[in-house]
A and B are shown apart, each in its own frame.
Chain A
Amino acid sequence: MDNMLEIKNLKKTFGKNEVLKDITENVEKGQVICVIGPSGSGKSTFLRCLNVLEQPTSGKIIFDGQDLAHISEKELNVLREKMGMVFQGFNLFPNMSVLENIKLAPMKVKKVSAEEAEKRGKELLDRVGLLDKADQYPDSLSGGQKQRVAIARALAMDPEVILFDEPTSALDPEMVGEVLKVMQDLADSGMTMVVVTHEMGFAREVADEVWFMADGYIQEIGKPEEIFEHPKSERAKDFLAKVL
């Protein structure tokens, strides 16, 4: 299989604090990766380095044959179009309606016509089950609905990979399911996904590969059943004993 993302010797330090200490991994096309691990282990920082919202201190992120960590702003902007991201805090634009949120980037970045963007936006809203909310403002939506809009917004740029940064952590428990359902559908459609999550059930069911991260390293990689049933490292055993 083709590699979608190659991460080579990735390091990230904040001041004297070493958050990521030498990570080298590959994400293959169509794979769903779930990154799990204790809080403060650097999962979110790792994910944010993948689309260079955090500039890596050293190492390479190779995507589409280019090293994201060492290219110009302009080139980076172009590559980011192909890399969607969904945030823990949704980050919808509160001054725009749901549909406008989705239309903005295709129209301004890809120069898609207003009609086309509207048509595509409605298709995507239908896909996440929120077509009836098209003209509402984010403030009037529930957390789960907001996150589904955020996913639709990311999809509107037709990305090759989507990064999910704890997409259900800010949600009330009864809303987690609807968001995971949309993500599962997305995974089934063959989208490449890197998901930082605490939803072990989701990881177990949907992930092709689970990466266990702790202390700035990826400690263990394996199929969900391997990691969850037979963790090898002490750190992983310890963590899973607490969360399962």
Chain B
Amino acid sequence: MSKLKRLFLVCTLMFAVFFSIEQVSVKADSTDNSVEQIKKSGKLVVGTSADYPPYEFTVKENGQTKYVGIDIEIAKQLAKNLGVKLEIKNMSFDSLLVALESHKVDAIISAMSPTDERKKSVDFSNIYYTGKQYMLINKKDASKYKTLSDFKNATVGAQKGSIQYELVQEQLSSSTLKGLSKLSDLVIALQSGKVNGIVMEEPTAKAYAANNSQLVAIDPGFTESSGENGSAIAFAKNSPALVAVANKTIAQIKKQDLINKKYIPQAAKYMSTSTKNNTMWSYWTYFAKGIEYTLIITIAGVFFGFILGTFLSLMRLSESKLLHSVAVCYIEFVRGTPLMVQVMFVYFGIGAVIQSLPALTAGIIAVSLNSAAYIAEVIRSGIESIPVGQTEAARSLGMSKQETYRYVVIPQALKNIWPALGNEFVTLIKESSIVSIIGVSDLMYQTQLVQSATYKGVLPLFIAMLIYFVMTFGLSKLLNLFERKLNHG
């Protein structure tokens, strides 16, 4: 009973701390110094989901990833008018609003429509572009699907959290709706017949159709609900000054008709060049960078996880009830929640307190904290596997408890747990792919970039799979070799 009580107390404490943090960040929002803050930091951080050509997508230029598209041009213009540098943060569409609310980004320019629901949590500029809602379908189905009524009982895909997603819910209630967070994944689903059509904006649909001869874009005739259509720039709540600057910029762009005259043709050009050289080979630098980051995250995760895990396991084995319960709570809690949630919590949650926390650091912290819990249990079982006679022999020679652990128990435990530690390392290589959701350029993230840059869905995934396998298989072979050496030594 007292154990339960203590657990409850610890949890209450955690919540109390968390909510006091929340309150502080709310207070900071009450006055509008949004423009001053951006000018002070010297850069405008814009969040976008760069898989939505021609609005925003990536191309490879001199081996470097470059963000291009209509929205990127608008972002450049806005940064110019603010007199600051532009920084683009690429993440999945459904993470964008959270990123804005937790001040990871200053603005969202990602073909986002200003719905009433979104207006509750963020401020929007005026609409800068209105595209019609189109449907992307397989060419072989072109005769089957022509208007909305043809999609009755069909499966229709849309990007999760997007206006198109709601559109399908409202106007195509008789069809099955499939939501994924990446448009490129939806296109794979379309090509493999998992969905029959994807709702997206006219320019985007046309771009995909132009780059893939098996797809066509059709206008199924969605009823346009006024106001909610079209794209606008989103800012944090209560930043009218920033909205005013954005509206001025939009007016400027509209006056010169820059979007139709300059931005769309420019984007179309990028799209056609990227399709010309979209062999996988020419994207090897993408994969190489991904491997590098995956290894950085994994090695750092195992390293810090091991240090923290050692402390946790000693705390768990400690005679102090407090240390023991803290360790048990931590280990059970971390092992009982998905890594994905932990990664997002560290980036958006802790990141709300420490504003400048980069995604890579957040990813490493989350992966380390996660692996620490698992490694702690591995070390604990290693320590418990050492016969009690070893401890008794050491104590009878006058060694203190600490000396006994340090010189007798831990060295033997480490030797026993080496294979399990190696396994954890191998597991982390795979698990760390989760950090791609917060925009860390690990192998999975880079693979998604290649997908959207080449308009090819399956092949990059297959290559990523092979690379992951070579890494994990190679590593386990290497660890086996060490283990054998260790046993002979």
| Residues of A bordering B, CB below 8 Å | 51, 53, 73-74, 77-78, 80-85, 87, 89, 91-95, 104-105, 108-109, 150, 153-154, 157, 163
A74-B400, A80-B395, A153-B397 are contacts. A87–B407 as well, Cβ < 8 Å?
Answer: no
Can you offer 21 A-B residue contacts whose CB atoms are under 8 A? A51-B396, A78-B398, A80-B395, A80-B396, A83-B396, A84-B397, A85-B396, A92-B393, A93-B390, A93-B393, A104-B397, A105-B394, A105-B399, A108-B399, A108-B407, A109-B398, A109-B403, A150-B393, A153-B393, A157-B397, A163-B396
A93-B412, A104-B407, A108-B407 are contacts. A157–B398 as well, Cβ < 8 Å?
Answer: yes
* Most chain B beta-carbon contacts within 10 A, residue among A53, A83, A108: A108
Q: Hey, which chain B residues are within 8 Å of A73, CB to CB?
A: 400-401
Task: Give the CA-CA distance A159 to B175 in the complex, in Å.
Answer: 86
Q: Tell me if B389 is interfacial: C-beta within 8 Å of chain A.
A: yes
User: A95 and B403: CB pair below 8 A?
Assistant: no
- A133 to chain B minimum Cβ distance, whole angstroms, is 18
Q: Hey, which chain A residues are within 8 Å of B411, CB to CB?
A: 95
A93-B408, A95-B412, A108-B407 are contacts. A77–B389 as well, Cβ < 8 Å?
Answer: no
Q: Hey, which chain B residues are within 8 Å of A87, CB to CB?
A: 389, 392-393
Q: Hey, which chain B residues are within 8 Å of A109, CB to CB?
A: 397-399, 403
Task: Give the CA-CA distance A153 to B390 in the complex, in Å.
Answer: 13
Do most interface residues of chain B lie in helix, strand or loop, or is the interface mixed?
Answer: helix
Q: Which of A78, A84, A95 contacts B396 (CB 8 A)?
A: A84
* Closest A residue, CB atoms, query B389: A91
Give per-residue flags for B401-420: 1 if the beta carbon is below 8 A from chain A beta carbons, else 0: 10100011001100100000
Q: Which of A81, A94, A95 contacts B397 (CB 8 A)?
A: A81
Q: Hey, which chain B residues are within 8 Å of A83, CB to CB?
A: 396
Task: Give the CA-CA distance A82 to B397 in the complex, in Å.
Answer: 8
* Closest B residue, CB atoms, query A95: B412
User: A105 and B412: CB pair below 8 A?
Assistant: no
Task: Give the CA-CA distance A105 to B399 in the complex, in Å.
Answer: 7
| Residues of B bordering A, CB below 8 Å | 387, 389-390, 392-401, 403, 407-408, 411-412, 415
User: A91 and B399: CB pair below 8 A?
Assistant: no
User: B412 and A80: CB pair below 8 A?
Assistant: no
- A79 to chain B minimum Cβ distance, whole angstroms, is 8
User: A108 and B403: CB pair below 8 A?
Assistant: yes
* Most chain A beta-carbon contacts within 10 A, residue among B387, B390, B396, B401: B396
Q: Hey, which chain A residues are within 8 Å of B407, CB to CB?
A: 104, 108
Q: Hey, which chain B residues are within 8 Å of A92, CB to CB?
A: 393
Task: Give the CA-CA distance A150 to B394 in the complex, in Å.
Answer: 11
Q: Hey, which chain B residues are within 8 Å of A82, CB to CB?
A: 398
Task: Give the CA-CA distance A154 to B392 in the complex, in Å.
Answer: 12
Using A92-B393, A95-B412, A109-B399 as known contacts, list a sample of 7 further A-B pairs with CB atoms less than 8 Å apart, ordered by residue number in A: A73-B401, A80-B395, A80-B396, A84-B396, A91-B387, A93-B412, A157-B397
- B418 to chain A minimum Cβ distance, whole angstroms, is 12
User: A105 and B390: CB pair below 8 A?
Assistant: no
Q: Hey, which chain A residues are within 8 Å of B390, CB to CB?
A: 91, 93
Q: Hey, which chain B residues are within 8 Å of A163, CB to CB?
A: 396
User: B397 and A154: CB pair below 8 A?
Assistant: yes
Task: Give the CA-CA distance A191 to B322 in the complex, in Å.
Answer: 45
- B70 to chain A minimum Cβ distance, whole angstroms, is 65
- A157 to chain B minimum Cβ distance, whole angstroms, is 6
Task: Give the CA-CA distance A83 to B396 in the complex, in Å.
Answer: 7
User: A53 and B392: CB pair below 8 A?
Assistant: yes
- B18 to chain A minimum Cβ distance, whole angstroms, is 39
User: B400 and A77: CB pair below 8 A?
Assistant: yes
- A142 to chain B minimum Cβ distance, whole angstroms, is 18
Task: Give the CA-CA distance A93 to B412 in the complex, in Å.
Answer: 9
Q: Which of B387, B396, B398, B408 contacts A53 (CB 8 A)?
A: B396
